[in-house]
Amino acid sequence: MLIYIKNKLDQLISTNKTINGSLWTISGQIFANLLRLCSNLIMAWLLVPEAFGVIAIISVLLIGVNLLTDFGLSASIIRSKRGTEHNFINTLWTLQIIRGVVMWIICLLIAEPIASFYNEEILSILVPVAGFVFIVKGFRSTSLALLNRKLEIKKIIIWELSSQLLGILVMVTYGVFDPVVWALIVGSIVDALTKTVSSFFVGNPIKHKLYIENEAFLEIFGFGKWLFVSSLFNFLATNFDKLILGKLVALSTLGVYHIAKIVADIPLMVIQQLSSRVLYPLYSFDNRSSEGLIYSKIVRLRNILLAFVLLMVICIVVLSEIFFTNFYRDSYIGASWIAPLLCINVWIVSLQATLDGVPLAMGLSRITASVSIIATIAKIFFSIVGFLLFELQGFILGLALGSLVSYTFFSSKLKQLGFSFMRQDLLFTLYLGLTVVLYYGMQNVNGIIFDVGPYVLSIGFIFIAITVFILYILFYVRVFPAIKHNI
């Protein structure tokens, strides 16, 4: 009886933290993306598209180096039963420092070849300087992962937003006085330095020391080896577009694509943060409990999350033309059609992102690796074929088709584990498709059946979409007491 009561209390606490963590993650991502949009908007007026093309290449390279050395260090703290032990934490921190140094050395080695490949000599200098952030991040305290393990998201969000704001202020100030690509690099380094120093004052202070315990190392490596494979192919699947486009199109076109992708990826960034900070720790907590993962609970959580992502996608599709036409220079006008088209891929990947934590929580990182491999092969194949047939439009549609192949394969793997979400996803996708078709249909008949300004039509449509979303949430709000009752 006492064990039963303890389990129920633990689950109730987990539920409250899940709700609070979700709200803080969503709020944090909204503010973070607003800051990012404002900073990009300012920098777009200060810098030419070619500068964003250069930074797009650098950002992809840094992400690639980061993922190519990813052994799931933070994920190990969240998942492992030893995640709060000092020996385990210090082993992980030591490995994190070694990884940071290795990543910077890789940046030094690839700088010249990359500069030669893209015929941009400045990359030979920018890549090593930008890669210095890896050494800085290597010394970051593990207290953040411990907070994530306990679903104490509020402290993490405040920490991130404060550091991001300081980095943006430095970047914009630098850009005003010297409008070159270096402003973006310096801003990212200041952001990394601020986060590393302040990480030792977030949550419960941890006294780290250089130490490697053999047992802890084997556990981390055993879990992380498949995450390494997954990260390798996940990098290629999610970032190869900018690497390839850097050779297929002009640098200015790549810069416009980069700006459009920043806007289009907002829903995906939100859902990925929710997945890593809330859903994965929650799934891990449930999997460690006696009841294990509960299918109905995942379905109810996704009914809320997918509705929110759907609303964001609709807003981007409807408002992109107004946003890029009125707030960006004419040289960025192509982003007004690129962003809505990218939303097809964003929606498909978002469906999968809400479930990525399920196999990881069960210790089945091999599934995540296999899905990443399929996604990489499918996206590269279909996007290149699409480019050959329809140039940039075909390239973007090829990305979406590759993501659909990956999602289908992932769904089949989940079904083997006893989880099937395709009916739920199909209903949301059908609603999204009908809504977008309705909007473009109203645009085509505007001036024939009725006559309103294009801005009035777009804003009115968004108002209706938000109203429907609020009514849906109010109708479905019983999900929260239902979760508390059932888990």
> Residue 11 pLDDT more than 50?
no
What is the number of structural domains in the chain? 2
Quick one: how far is CA 434 from the chain centroid? Answer: 26
pLDDT for res 408: 93
Confidence of residue 328 (pLDDT cuts 50, 70, 90): confident
User: Which of 248, 269, 303 is the last residue before a domain boundary?
Assistant: 248
Residue 448 resides in a domain = yes
CB 216 within 8 A of CB 200: no
Q: Which residues of 176-210 are buried (b: 16+ CB within 10 A; e: fewer)?
A: eeeeebbbbbbbbbbbbbbbbebbeebbeebebee
The answer on 311 and 216 residing in a single domain is: no
How far does CA 439 lie from the centroid of its chain? 27
pLDDT over threshold 90, residue 340: yes
Whether the pLDDT of residue 428 is over 90: the answer is: yes
Both 91 and 237 in a single domain? yes
Question: Alpha-carbon distance 437 to 314, whole Å?
Answer: 11
Together in a domain, 172 and 287: no
Single out the residue in 218, 248, 278 at which a domain terminates: 248
| Residue of 2 and 415 predicted with greater confidence | 415
Residue 173 lies in a domain: yes
14 and 51 assigned to the same domain: no
Least confident of 171-180, 254-263, 287-296: 287-296
Which pLDDT value is given to residue 184? 81
Q: In the structure encoding, which two tokens stand for residue 195, read together?
A: 């986060």
pLDDT at 2 > cutoff 60: no
- Torsion angle of alpha carbons 264, 270, 272, 278, nearest 10°? -170
Residue that the structure tokens 């859902």 belong to: 271
Task: Tell which residue, 235, 182, 173, has the closest CA to residue 54.
Answer: 182
234 shares its domain with 340: no
> Do residues 413 and 371 touch, judged by C-beta distance below 8 A?
yes
Residue 95 carries which side chain, given as an amino acid letter? L
**Is the pLDDT at 99 greater than 80, yes or no?**
yes
More confident residue, 369 or 79: 369
Tell me the three state secondary structure of residue 280.
helix
Length of the chain: 487
Q: What is the DSSP string of 50-86?
A: HHHHHHHHHHHHHHHHHHHT---HHHHHHH-TTTT-H
* Residue 393 phi, psi dihedral angles, 5° rounding: -60, -45
Residue 279 has pLDDT above 70, yes or no: yes
- State the Cα–Cα distance between residues 314 and 374, nearest whole angstrom: 28
C-alpha dihedral (273, 277, 282, 287), degrees to nearest 10? 100
Max CA separation in the chain (angstroms)? 74
Ranking 194-198, 206-210, 402-406, 464-468 by mean pLDDT, the lowest is 206-210
* Bigger pLDDT: 252 vs 480: 252
Residues 87 and 201 placed together within one structural domain of the fold: yes
Instruction: Tell me, yes or no, whether 299 and 222 share the same domain.
Output: no
pLDDT score at 228: 64
* 221 and 269 in a common domain: no
Q: What percent of the chain has pLDDT over 70?
A: 80
Residues 109 and 190 in one domain: yes
Give the pLDDT confidence score for residue 351 in this predicted structure: 93
216 within some domain: yes
Work out the average pLDDT over 103-110: 89
| pLDDT digit string, tens, across residues 204-227 | 667 778 878 888 777 767 665 666
Return phi, psi of residue 207, to 5°. -90, 100
Q: Is 435 within 8 Å of 369 (Cβ atoms)? A: no
CA dist., res. 6 & res. 12, Å (int)? 10
Please report how many Cα atoms fall inside a 13 Å half-sphere around the Cα of residue 3, on the Cβ side. 3
Q: In a 3-state reduction of DSSP, which class is residue 446?
A: strand
What is the DSSP secondary-structure string of 324-350?
A: HHHHS-GGGTTHHHHHHHHHHHHHHHH
Mean predicted confidence (pLDDT) in 106-132 = 87
| 401 part of a folded domain | no
Q: Is residue 393 part of a domain?
A: no
33 vs 432, more confident? 432
Q: Is the confidence at residue 85, as pLDDT, over 70?
A: yes
Identify the pLDDT of residue 45.
79
State whether 268 and 293 are in the same domain.
Answer: yes
Q: Is 194 part of any domain?
A: yes
Contact status, residue 386 vs residue 246, Cβ threshold 8 Å: no
Per-residue pLDDT for 484 more than 50? no
- Spatial distance between the Cα atoms of 286 and 300, rounded to a whole number of angstroms: 15
Domain identity same for 229 and 328: no
264 with 166, same domain: the answer is no
Residue 210 in 3-state DSSP? coil
pLDDT bracket for residue 270 (50, 70, 90) = confident
Task: With a cut of 80, say whether residue 189 has pLDDT above it.
Answer: yes
Is residue 237 assigned to a domain?
Answer: yes
Residues 308, 59: Cα–Cα separation, whole Å? 28
For 477, other C-beta atoms within 10 Å of its C-beta total: 11
Q: What confidence score (pLDDT) does residue 477 get? A: 58
Confidence of residue 299 (pLDDT cuts 50, 70, 90): confident
- The helix/strand/coil state of 450 is strand
Alpha-carbon distance of 57 to 151, in angstroms, equals 34
Structure confidence at residue 14 as a pLDDT band (50, 70, 90): very low
Residue finishing a domain among 225, 248, 271: 248
Q: What average pLDDT is seen over the chain?
A: 79
The domain of 63 spans 47-248
Quote the CA–CA distance of 274 and 279 in Å, as a whole number.
6
Q: Which residue has the higher pLDDT, 381 or 327?
A: 381
Q: Which of 91-105, 156-170, 382-396 has the highest mean pLDDT?
A: 382-396
CA 33 to each of CA 38, 124, 182: distance values in angstroms, whole numbers, following the listed order: 8, 30, 22
Asked if residue 377 is part of any domain, the answer here is no
Comparing 231-245, 351-365, 461-475, the range with the smallest average pLDDT is 231-245
**Residue 393 pLDDT exceeds 90:** yes
pLDDT of 197 strictly over 50: yes
- Give the DSSP letter of residue 179: -
pLDDT at 476: 66
Q: Residue 306 — left, alpha, or beta (φ > 0 → left; ψ -120 to 50 → alpha)?
A: alpha
Place of tokens 């949301």: 428
Judged against a pLDDT cut of 90, whether residue 295 lies above it is answered with no
Residue 91 has what pLDDT?
Answer: 83
